Amino acid sequence: MNKKPKALFTFLSLLLIINLACASLASATATPIPTNTPKPTNTSAPTATPITLFVDGTAEDALEETIFEHVTGAFEFNAPKGWTIEEYDNDVYIESPESVFFYVAVTNTGYELSADEYERFIQNSEDFFYGYRDGFQETLREANESISLKLIEKTYPVDGETYFARSIYQKFGQAIFIVEMFGSQNDILSNPSYDQIFSAFFQSLTVDSGAATSLPVYALSWTFQTADQAYTFQAPQGWKYDYIEINGVFKSVEELISPDEHAVMQVFSSFDTVNYGADDHLNYLEGYTERLLKSDYSGNSNDTQILNKDTKNGKMLLQWKSNTTSINGYALIIEAKDSSEPLLILIFWDQPFDEIYNQPALDILNSLFLN
């Protein structure tokens, strides 16, 4: 493996000279589920007493000698002694006995995002995981544009307790790495060694951007639960989330937009059973979907073409395109079953980006269609 020793040395050199706000960290849910619309909050400048992140011998001695290599081969590190490691396909959580967490993740965006697109990836992630919470406050934001690095600190409430998170993002071509420390603010403030241990942990971290770019595109994900709570599936991190109430066959649309704004996922749920209580939901929604695609997704040219149709166990997967709007996409229709309501999911993208988004779209929809 073409390992890059100290590939994150630029991280450390920046952190050694940045004054970081003294605060605490975040919650430890591997697959967060949105409960309401993210609402970024404008906050005042941080007022916490600044401290300097540094490494001393004691902190270095707190790390295991054995190197932990992630299953992707994209990164490795020395974990703090006595901490528990939980590994997932694209990320890993390292938990202290006091439930303070370190977190490392990697995602492949398919091609290198521009500076603005990378900023949207970061802000979308921040808004979704933290910014929507009442009481959220960003306390520090620093950047080194020359190495595509951004450091963000914030506090936010979890079950009546104040949490703190320190998030570091860095882009290497089409690979984005995320490193975080989070947990109860009281736990962090009462034990200053966490800053030192995190610095030592960070210094031990090395990455292999070549291995990262071979990963499936946007495989780093969170568990999406539809507004009616009937279905869950994996949705890509770094996409902008929005919730929209509508009138018609469905009462709500949840929308995810890729950071380059070339791909969109729309989840239609909360089916209006009173006014549209058709017995044969699948055939009814097939006609509804085709009319919707021709009227709203083809620039009113009605040139949307259904390329393929597959039906299985009360589910229908349509592949479609519109040459007028230069869009390719899929539609997944799921009929009502037991206590669940009908569901419609559209994923579409600009045709020049077919190689980037076709497979991730299929992966998302097949997780529902094939089960």
Q: Tell me if 188 sits within 8 A of 50, measured CB to CB.
A: no
- 36 Cα distance to chain centroid: 16
Q: Which of 243, 151, 237, 267 is nearest to 199 (CA)?
A: 151
The confidence band for 371, taking pLDDT boundaries of 50, 70 and 90, is: low
Q: Which of 180, 32, 171 is nearest to 109 (CA)?
A: 171
- 152 Cα distance to chain centroid: 16
How many C-beta atoms lie closer than 10 Å to residue 339's C-beta?
7
The confidence band for 283, taking pLDDT boundaries of 50, 70 and 90, is: confident
How far apart CA 254 and CA 228 sit, in angstroms, is 11
How far apart CA 163 and CA 50 sit, in angstroms, is 18
pLDDT at 57 over 60: no
How far apart CA 125 and CA 103 sit, in angstroms, is 14
Q: What is the pLDDT of residues 125-164, one digit of tens each?
A: 999 999 989 999 999 999 999 999 999 999 999 999 999 9
Which residues share a beta bridge with 159? none
Residue 218 DSSP one-character state? T
pTM: 0.82
Phi and psi (nearest 5°) for 201? -60, -45
Q: Which of 119, 149, 361, 131 is nearest to 259 (CA)?
A: 119
Ordered domains of the chain (ranges, CATH): 9-213 (3.40.1000.10), 221-369 (3.40.1000.10)
Which residues share a beta bridge with 94? 85, 102
- Collapsing DSSP to helix, strand or coil, 205 comes out as coil
